[in-house]
Amino acid sequence: MSRAPAQAPVFAGSIPQIYDKYLVPLIFEPYAVDLGQRLVSLPLTNVLELACGTGAVTRRLAMALPENVFIIATDLSQPMLDHAAAVGTSRPVEWRQADALQLPFDKASFDAVVCQFGVMFFPDRARAYAEVRRVLRSGGVFLFNVWDRIEENEFTHVIHQTLAGVFPDDPPSFIARVPHGYHDTATIRRDLSSGGFSEQPVIQTVTARSRAASARIPAMAFCQGTPIRNEIEARDPARLEAATDAAAIALAARFGRAAVDGKIQAHVVGVGA
């Protein structure tokens, strides 16, 4: 079966709510804490966050950083921003829609730019990095993370394999192609250099655990709370629940029918301006 070229991932409809309820605590929260802790000791006056999603890192930054540090959280998706703003933070931040490839900020405006699991979605990463470099002050830092290979992330890998079995003639590819498609550290270094970062980035591989009360939770999180849902519904809207059920059954077979616990792994990248 042939299909039109993949479009930009869509985070709309009920995806932001399901994403925040299930996916954030499942895989994003441990790395949000990690990124927040890495910034605490730095002398900061203002921070820009890119691709903030539903605000997992934003909430951590608002709690971890002194109140006099101004935070601007941006995302391309207005529905994700709307949900993030509705959930709110422990202190005021500015929510703003922005395209990472054309940031609406002046040169040398920020002490730090942060992005949690967002650079994989940028259609031109070198251009996005050049924009980050432009808005960073001299001596500032760009801190971001990306998922490692899908095989190093157990729940994700099982769901990816399961959906390939549900749709054998046209397997959904988003999960491997985008979130787990930018794990090569040599490529990351090259893209940063192309974007104008002359310093060598520090890249650390950080392993954590993903835990949920049942296998149904990660199945819901991925199949209905990410653009995987768009791929499933593009193939057959009536099979969303069946695909979610198949993922839950596969996860339970691998990790147990009660609480589940799986490995997650990501690269954390820091580079100075």
User: In which band, very low, low, confident or very high, does the pLDDT at 10 lie, cut at 50, 70 and 90?
Assistant: low
Cβ count near 227 (within 10 Å): 22
Q: Which residue has the higher pLDDT, 3 or 42?
A: 42
- pLDDT score recorded for residue 11: 54
User: In which band, very low, low, confident or very high, does the pLDDT at 87 lie, cut at 50, 70 and 90?
Assistant: very high
- pLDDT score recorded for residue 204: 98
Q: Which residues of 189-211 are buried (b: 16+ CB within 10 A; e: fewer)?
A: bebbbebebeeebebeeeeeebb
- pLDDT score recorded for residue 68: 95
Composition of the chain by helix, strand, coil, percent to 5:
45, 20, 30
Q: Is residue 183 pLDDT above 70, yes or no?
A: yes
User: In which band, very low, low, confident or very high, does the pLDDT at 97 lie, cut at 50, 70 and 90?
Assistant: very high
Q: Are strands 94-97 and 202-212 parallel, antiparallel or unpaired?
A: unpaired
Ranges of beta strands (E only) in 61-192 are: 70-75, 94-97, 110-116, 136-147
Q: Could you report the per-residue pLDDT of 220-263, keeping only the tens digit for each?
A: 999 999 889 999 999 999 999 999 999 999 999 999 989 999 99
Cβ count near 3 (within 10 Å): 10
Task: Tell me if the pTM is above 0.85.
Answer: yes
Q: Is residue 186 pLDDT above 90, yes or no?
A: yes
Q: Are 72 and 93 in contact (CB under 8 A)?
A: yes
Half-sphere exposure of 148 (CA within 13 A, CB side): 17
What mean pLDDT is predicted for residues 118-125?
96
Question: Cα 263 vs. chain centroid, distance in angstroms?
Answer: 17
- pLDDT score recorded for residue 146: 98
User: What is the side-by-side strand order in the sheet with 70-75?
Assistant: 94-97, 70-75, 46-50, 110-116, 136-147, 260-272, 202-212
Q: Which residues of 72-100 are buried (b: 16+ CB within 10 A; e: fewer)?
A: bbbbbbebbbebbbebebeeebebeebeb
What is the distance between the alpha carbons of residues 87 and 167, in angstroms, rounded to a whole number? Answer: 35
Domain boundaries, the chain: 15-272
Question: What's the chain's average pLDDT?
Answer: 93
- pLDDT score recorded for residue 15: 72
User: In which band, very low, low, confident or very high, does the pLDDT at 157 lie, cut at 50, 70 and 90?
Assistant: very high
Answer whether CATH 3.40.50.150 is correct for domain 15-272.
Answer: yes
- pLDDT score recorded for residue 5: 34
Ranges of beta strands (E only) in 86-201 are: 94-97, 110-116, 136-147
Q: Could you report the per-residue pLDDT of 19-36, keeping only the tens digit for each?
A: 888 999 999 999 999 999
Q: Are 229 and 166 in contact (CB under 8 A)?
A: no
How large a percentage of the chain has pLDDT more than 90? Answer: 89
What mean pLDDT is predicted for residues 191-205?
97
Q: Is residue 4 pLDDT above 50, yes or no?
A: no
